[in-house]
Amino acid sequence: MDRSILIKNLCFRYGEQRDWILKEINLQIDGGELVLISGISGVGKSTLLACINGIIPRIFTGELTGAILINGVQNSGLSMGQIALDIGSVLQEPDSQIFNLFVADELAFGCENLGISPTEIDQRVKRYSRLIELAEDARIDQLSGGEKARLVIGSVLMMQQGIYLLDEPFANLDRESSQKLLVYLQELTVRGEIVIIVEHRLDLVLPYITRMLWMDAGEIAADLNREEAQARYRRLFKNHEPALYIKRSPLFKLADFSCGYGDKTVLNKLTANLMVMENLVILGENGSGKTTLLKALAGLIRKFTGQIWRSSALEQNGVQQIGYVYQNPGYQLFMDTVYNEVDFQSNSPENTQYFIKLFGLESLQDVHPHSLSEGQKRLVTITAMAAIRPQVLLLDEPSVGLDSLSLDNLIRALAEIRRELETTIIMVTHDLRSAQCFAERVLILKDGRIAADGNTGLLTEYFNLDD
């Protein structure tokens, strides 16, 4: 079967909005292509995927003009079920695509809905559970965010539809897992299938693509081959010179600290001192305990063994001065405008405006947070937590959904917070861009233990920068 996607004069705008999100998109993608779609946050990348897979206008409504043909058939005349026979989609939020309690059941779920035989499903479950490196009997509620992302990717690939749309699939994945999946996706295109990836971690994805589409203001501004895309990336990427690693007074002390969930031990006898006013980056494979460590520092882990000590500087008027930004920004957004979201955490209108300006949200302050792109939502949650003026700011994957310019602005804003407020910032990331721009100290976790602790020299080894 010759697979293809043909888009003719596609325009789209949501609901009653005046501005078009997509403008005159004309595009052909043929079997054998691995296409990267990139561009700054909010330019229509996810919207384009939603038009291709039929979510727009069937679920998210608005005004759509133009035509989309999948394998030669116009998708406007097809049901979601018919489109799903040919297209598999990985959405930005893994939790929105998980429906079962155990890994094997989740992997099988899509295939069962497609009417694939039980014998074939069992064989695929064994094969794809190995690909995503998750035990078939593992409980999904005990998986890390990255492990859930791998599960959703595996569940979609298991259906073997032939066209795959992946919206920031590697945002929460460690580098090794991402590269393994990229090799597999590349193998699919060799067999004549189509893979389209929306992603901001260009350094990770560019070596595997055949083509990159750069979007700007709802249009395809550039259509580049791999070599042209790599040259563009080198021009976009701005490296900040991180501060030197200097020993300071302790803010947290961990001594033989262990904790977990149910019968599963996640952190195992951690011993470390985390210092005042240092930029600490925590690295490690999915499931190594990074998010759990942030939760422990924030005081959200109640059952543990060993000791965790917090400096008295973290307490003011009986309240812990800790800001914690979750992996999923949707968990922390509950006001009706960006301004009100930040102001809810702020102590004055002047303070609110200061942080809105610092993080570059002036043009969005009257917008509902849940109408923003994922990268913009993340910036809002970081801004709201920063407006508390905490002594320590804990950031779990803060760069997910951020283009190079937005990340550059975020790093500069965090540097000002640290300088002006003397805030200690601790970041969990899988993103090479973030680690290089931000870190002065690096902590690497492996299987719930500290595998390495030192300065930025550890980044070269962890990200294989010598290769």
pLDDT tens digits, one per residue of 265-274: 999 999 999 9
Q: What is the pLDDT of residue 353?
A: 96
Task: Indicate the DSSP class of residue 102.
Answer: B
**Segment 390-403, tens digit of pLDDT:** 999 999 999 888 88
Give the phi and the psi of residue 101 in degrees, each rounded to 5. Answer: -95, -25
Task: Indicate the DSSP class of residue 461.
Answer: H
d(CA 42, CA 438) in angstroms, rounded, equals 24
Q: What is the pLDDT of residue 243?
A: 46
Give the phi and the psi of residue 405 in degrees, each rounded to 5. Answer: -65, -45
- Which residues are paired to 395 by β-bridges? 325, 427
Q: Can you give the pTM of this predicted structure?
A: 0.73
Q: What is the pLDDT of residue 242?
A: 45
Q: What is the pLDDT of residue 248?
A: 65
Q: What is the pLDDT of residue 262?
A: 84
What is the average pLDDT value for the chain, to the nearest integer?
89
Q: Which of 137-146, 196-205, 229-238 has the lowest mean pLDDT?
A: 229-238
3-state SS string over 261-273? Answer: ECCEEEEEEEEEE
Q: What is the pLDDT of residue 465?
A: 61
**Segment 227-252, tens digit of pLDDT:** 888 887 766 554 444 444 444 688 89
pLDDT of 10 over the 80 cut? yes
Spatial neighbors of 371 by CB under 8 A, at least 6 apart, are none
Q: What is the pLDDT of residue 24?
A: 93
**Segment 48-94, tens digit of pLDDT:** 999 999 999 999 889 999 999 999 999 988 999 999 999 999 998 88
d(CA 207, CA 193) in angstroms, rounded, equals 18
Q: Which two tokens stand for residue 74?
A: 């116009």
